[in-house]
Amino acid sequence: MSAILRELLRVSEKAANIARACRQQEALFQLLIEEKKEGDKNKKFAVDFKTLADVLVQEVIKQNMENKFPGLEKKIFGEESNEFTNALGEKIILRLCPTEEETVELLSKVLNGNKLASEALAKVVHQDVAFTDPTLDSMEINIPQDILGIWVDPIDSTYQYIKGSSDIESNQGIFPSGLQCVTILIGVYDIQTGVPLMGVINQPFVSQDLNTLRWKGQCYWGLSYMETQIYSPQPPNSKKYSSDAQSQLTANTGSEAEFSCLFSAVISTSEKETIKAALSRVCGERVFSAAGAGYKSLCVVQGLVDIYIFSEDTTFKWDSCAAHAILRAMGGGMVDLKECLERNPEAGLDLPQLVYHMENEGATGVDRWANKGGLIAYRSRKQLEMFLSLLIQNLAAVDTHT
């Protein structure tokens, strides 16, 4: 239902406020960046605070949704456990308390009595947020609540969140690293089919006021259910760099060779050399590196690139569900790379879309929810088919040269 999506947008903004507060407020930032020195206690404390920011965001999302939609909290899944052990060995379950004062008291236990930091965090946690989107407000879509499951990645790209610079230059609109690569990801899927239905990507750090040093963010959303496909209006700086291939494909003329170097792709810095080599043949110089799985997916949503490709098995359902739902609403999607490379297009089989309701057989721990075959995120099926055809040819060519 669109009421759930509206509330997810609101809680994502509340989560973004917490993420910004931890970077902007001195008492909190000092804990976030605390160096690992002077023995185990400091080391553990620094790790714990990073985890605390993650868990706090996750709990705010879970408990706000439960308040509005009773029963939904049991279907919200994320990476983080909300159980902490402090320096005194006390086990503490972190939950939002009814009042700010009670939250301060609970946070003080987790933060070993740091009252200043606990008060600063509790204040932003209990701050109310109003968030509306006229496009969504004008719609009413009814999706049964009992078929919904939700994946949450409270702060994607935590390394950039802690260490990322605020003054990284973008490369044709794409940030290779820095705070802009941090995202809050909320994806809603059908628990029976695993199909993504709604997605919210909140980018807390988009632009900084140089006088106040305060950050402003941007929120993206999409909903794809039965005949309804709607998504957030794109900011004016989007859709710049991926239009060449799209317009060529729309024209539907020319040979495959002519399409080479018209595509653009974003990849991880750790991508395999064979994939990089094949991509340089397919995309020429239009291959960009960036941090954060959520941010790279967002680059496709924004239209800054045509494709996000990742060949490793180290992204998870919480990394991909939100962007996948938005891309579905736009006419795109997210597919299993390994299965795509093994698929015979002549067989008429459908593209192997990622699904979100099933664990990986035989896997344990977080690997149960890994995207085992890697992934490709795309904006248009026609584009993807052409890209895959070129990629497979060029992977074969790379193999013969190595």
Q: What percent of the chain has pLDDT over 90?
A: 50
- Please give the Cα distance from 165 to 173 (Å, whole number): 16
Cβ-based burial of 206 (10 A; exposed 0-12, middle 13-18, buried ≥19): middle
Annotated active-site positions, please? Answer: 54, 79, 153, 155-156, 158, 319
* pLDDT reading at 26 higher than 70: yes
Structure tokens at 386: 């052409």
Structure tokens at 121: 């965090």
The residue that leads in pLDDT, 194 or 281, is: 194
pLDDT tens-digit series, residues 152-178: 999 999 889 888 888 899 999 999 999
**Mean pLDDT (whole number) for 51-80:** 88
β-bridge mates for residue 230, sequence order: 223
**Mean pLDDT (whole number) for 267-278:** 88
- Please give the Cα distance from 401 to 171 (Å, whole number): 30
Per the annotation, where are the binding residues for Mg(2+)? Answer: 79, 153, 155-156, 319
pLDDT tens-digit series, residues 253-272: 444 445 556 899 999 988 88
Q: Angle between the 2-24 and 39-68 helix axes, to the nearest 10 degrees?
A: 150
- Weakest mean pLDDT among 156-170, 245-259, 279-293: 245-259
pLDDT band at 45 (very low <50, low <70, confident <90, very high): very low
Is this model's pTM higher than 0.85 or not? Answer: yes
pLDDT tens-digit series, residues 184-201: 999 999 999 999 999 999
- The whole-number pLDDT of residue 145 equals 92
Beta-strand runs (E) in 263-373:
265-267, 287-289, 307-310, 333-335
Nearest to 238 by CA among 183, 170, 304, 305: 304
* pLDDT reading at 38 higher than 50: no
Per the annotation, where are the binding residues? Answer: 79, 153, 155-156, 319
Nearest to 295 by CA among 269, 274, 275, 331: 269
